[in-house]
Amino acid sequence: MNKSLAKIYKPGLVKLALNSWPPFWGAGIKILSISDDFREVRMKLKLRWWNKNANRTQYGGSIFSLTDPVYSLMLMGILGERYYVWDKEASINFIKPGQSDLFAEFCVSQNQLDDILMQTANGDKCFPEFIIYVKDKQGNVVSEVQRKLYVRKKPQFREEDGEEQVA
């Protein structure tokens, strides 16, 4: 994230922007809430006629899209302009058909954040992993999605010989 974006990167604006973003809107994805500290996000995937598969259930690509790029955006909000944050890899395990609207909750715990900060303190790369359980209206798990991210301090903020550089 660049310095200009960091100044306006607030939960309400991110929610508005992503709920208006054509890939999310077209897939039936909606952000329900983003906590003020970016640590919790709740999302919904609406079952629409155009995102059903041949079996008349949720299209797997839409289910996968529901989880992309949420953790990256959360960490960008938490860590700010000093860090690169990208999705690195992901996998999905389809457990049962999604026959209704689907929901996902995302959380970055203090322990996860502490691990990321510790591993990146000296400019090293970090590859945190997160698991998301996509659930139906009844709370049954429909799919399990694993996401691995890439996190690293930008060069101008990396420490050299124990001294942090100032940009």
Question: What is the CATH number for 50?
Answer: 3.10.129.10
- The full DSSP string for 117-147 is HHHHTTS--B--EEEEEEEETTS-EEEEEEE
**What pairing do the DSSP bridges indicate for beta strands 102-107 and 129-136?**
antiparallel
CB atoms within 10 A of CB 102: 23
Query: How many Å is the Cα radius of gyration of the chain?
Result: 17
- Residue 88: inside a domain: yes
Residue 93 lies in a domain: yes
Helix, strand, coil shares of the chain, percent, nearest 5, are: 35, 35, 30
For residue 108, give the 3-state DSSP assignment: coil
pTM, rounded to two decimals: 0.89
Count of domains in the chain?
1
pLDDT of residue 160: 61
Structural domain that includes position 79: 11-164
Q: What is the pLDDT along the chain (167 residues), one digit of tens a residue?
A: 777 777 788 999 999 999 999 999 889 999 999 999 999 999 999 999 888 889 999 999 999 999 999 999 999 999 999 999 999 999 999 999 999 999 999 999 999 999 999 999 999 999 999 999 999 999 999 999 999 999 999 999 987 645 554 44
